[in-house]
Chains A and B, each alone.
Chain A
Amino acid sequence: MNSTTRGFAGRPRAARPGLPPGQYDAGDDWPVLSAEVTPDLAPADWTFRIGGLVTEPRTWDWEQAHALPASAYSGDIHCVTGWSKFGVRFGGVSLDAFLDAVRPLPSATHAVAYAHTGYTTNLPLADLTGGRAWIVWEYDGQPLAPEHGGPARLLVPHLYFWKSAKWIANLELLDHDEPGFWEQNGYHPRGNPWQEQRYSGD
Chain B
Amino acid sequence: MTETATHTQGGFAPPVRFAVPGRIAVSEQVATRWQTATLTEIRRETARAATFRLAVPDWAGHLPGQHLQLRLTAADGYVAQRHYSIASAPDDSGHIELTLDHVEGGEVSGWFHTVARVGDQVAVRGPLSGFFAWPGDRPALLIGAGSGVVPLMSMVRHHRARGLSVPLRLLVSARSPEELIYARELGPETTPVFTRSAPAGLPVGRLAAAHLAPLLAERPPGGWEAYVCGSNAFAEHASRLLVAAGQPVDRIRIERFG
Question: In the complex, how many angstroms separate the beta carbon of A57 from the nearest chain B beta carbon?
Answer: 6
Contact of A147 among B2, B116, B121, B236 (CB under 8 A): B236
| Given A4-B75, A117-B16, A199-B31: A172 touches B8 (CB 8 Å cut-off) | yes
A184 close to B (CB within 8 Å) = yes
Contact of B73 among A3, A35, A83, A119 (CB under 8 A): A3
The secondary-structure label for the interface of chain A is loop
Total interface residues in chain A, CB < 8 Å: 59
B residues near A (Cβ < 8 Å) are 1-2, 4-5, 8-12, 14-18, 20, 26, 28-29, 31-32, 34-36, 69, 72-75, 78-83, 107, 111, 115-116, 120-123, 125, 128-132, 232, 235-236, 239-240, 242-243, 249-250, 252-256, 258
Cα distance A201–B17 in the bound complex, in angstroms: 25
| Given A118-B250, A186-B128, A201-B29: A36 touches B18 (CB 8 Å cut-off) | yes
Contact A35 B79 (CB under 8 A): no
Contact B254 A3 (CB under 8 A): no
A residues near B (Cβ < 8 Å) are 1-11, 13, 22, 24, 29, 31-39, 47, 49, 51-53, 57, 59, 81-83, 112, 114-120, 147, 169-170, 172, 174-176, 178, 181, 184-186, 198-202
Cα distance A114–B11 in the bound complex, in angstroms: 13
Inter-chain CB contacts under 8 Å: number? 171
Residue of B nearest to A169 (CB): B12
The secondary-structure label for the interface of chain B is mixed
Question: In the complex, how many angstroms separate the beta carbon of A152 from the nearest chain B beta carbon?
Answer: 14
Contact A170 B9 (CB under 8 A): yes
**What are 27 A-B pairs with beta-carbon distances under 8 A?**
A1-B123, A2-B34, A5-B120, A6-B115, A6-B121, A8-B72, A8-B74, A8-B111, A10-B72, A13-B78, A33-B258, A34-B254, A37-B242, A37-B243, A47-B12, A49-B9, A49-B10, A59-B10, A81-B83, A82-B83, A118-B18, A120-B14, A185-B129, A185-B130, A185-B131, A186-B130, A199-B31
Cα distance A3–B16 in the bound complex, in angstroms: 44
Contact of A181 among B18, B75, B78, B123 (CB under 8 A): B18
Cα distance A120–B122 in the bound complex, in angstroms: 34
Which residues of chain A have C-beta atoms less than 8 A from B34's C-beta? Answer: 1-2
Cα distance A31–B231 in the bound complex, in angstroms: 9
Which residues of chain B have C-beta atoms less than 8 A from A7's C-beta? Answer: 111, 115-116, 120
Contact A5 B249 (CB under 8 A): no
Question: In the complex, how many angstroms separate the beta carbon of B227 from the nearest chain A beta carbon?
Answer: 11
Residue of A nearest to B257 (CB): A31
Which residues of chain A have C-beta atoms less than 8 A from B121's C-beta? Answer: 3, 5-6
Contact B83 A118 (CB under 8 A): no
Residue of B nearest to A54 (CB): B8
